[in-house]
Amino acid sequence: MFHPSTLLVSAGLSFWLAQHVRRRKATPGSATFVWLLVAIGTWCLCGAGHWAAGSLEAKLAWSRGQYFAIASVPALSLTFALQFAGLPWVTWARTIAFIWTIPVLTVIACLTNAWHGALWSSVTLGPAGRAIYEHGWWFWIAAGHAYVLMLAGTLVIARALRRSPMPYRGQFVALLAGAVLPWGGNLVYVTGLLPIEGLDLTPLMFAASG
């Protein structure tokens, strides 16, 4: 049986790690990694609130807060990978536009979903009081874009791993493992393979990745 305290512990761990990483300002991408951990922690915290909320309206309010993090995490992950690998085009305007346009539109779609249903075509409470989301057409665009960002970040780390000197390869192996881990949790949620309906393991996997 899943308990929301698992998400609360993951949120606390992510926020604690963010505070720890803040002290390593000289490390490439450290500021972005701090924001990534904060977003992961927010995702977990709002996920715990969503899981514990009793009414559909309360669950939707938590879900809206959650989507600020859901939309940001893949974008921050790729940005961090580019910065850590030392690739100069992370600062190019077209790169920033490619990374952030869809996440910004996704947050807007979430906040205005009641008018168009593009993100969730319907939301109902299941027999156990869990929110069941029927995904709209924009959800699949946002999900596809997130997968592209995560795949790009994984490839950037893999390429840097191959080219890095031997003493630094341990760092890149850890980053590569951390980049791959959330894929599994999100795929299980999107494909509906979890035995607990409505449970999304993605924030837990991102917390473990952090």
Residue 65 pLDDT class (50, 70, 90 cuts): very high
Q: What pLDDT, on the 0 to 100 scale, is given for residue 88?
A: 86
Residue 114 neighbours by CB under 8 Å, 6+ apart? none
- Round to whole Å and give the CA distance between 6 and 49: 12
Dist CA 129 CA 142 (whole Å): 27
Q: What percent of the chain has pLDDT over 70?
A: 74
> pLDDT digits over 94-153, tens only?
999 999 999 999 999 999 999 999 999 999 887 777 788 899 999 999 999 998 998 888
pLDDT of residue 30: 86
Kindly report which listed range (58-72, 101-115, 150-164) carries the lowest average pLDDT score: 150-164
Residue 109 half-sphere exposure toward CB, CA atoms < 13 A: 21
Predicted pLDDT at 188: 55
* Per-residue model confidence (pLDDT) at position 48: 86
Q: Which residue has the higher pLDDT, 149 or 185?
A: 149
pLDDT tier, 190 (very low <50, low <70, confident <90, very high otherwise): low
Residue 138 phi/psi, 5° resolution? Answer: -70, -30
Instruction: Return the higher-pLDDT residue of 89 and 161.
Output: 89
Q: How many residues does the chain have?
A: 210
- Please compute the mean of the pLDDT values over residues 19-46 and round it to a whole number: 86
Report CA-CA distances (Å) from 3 to 46, 47, 52, 117, 155.
14, 11, 9, 29, 34
Distant-in-sequence, close-in-space partners of 86: CB < 8 Å, separation ≥ 6: 28, 160
Most distant CA pair in the chain: distance in Å? 55
Q: What is the dihedral of CA 149, 146, 91, 177, to 10 degrees?
A: -50
Q: How far apart are CA 161 and CA 156, in angstroms?
A: 9
* 37-64: average pLDDT: 89
Q: Are 118 and 67 in contact (CB under 8 A)?
A: no
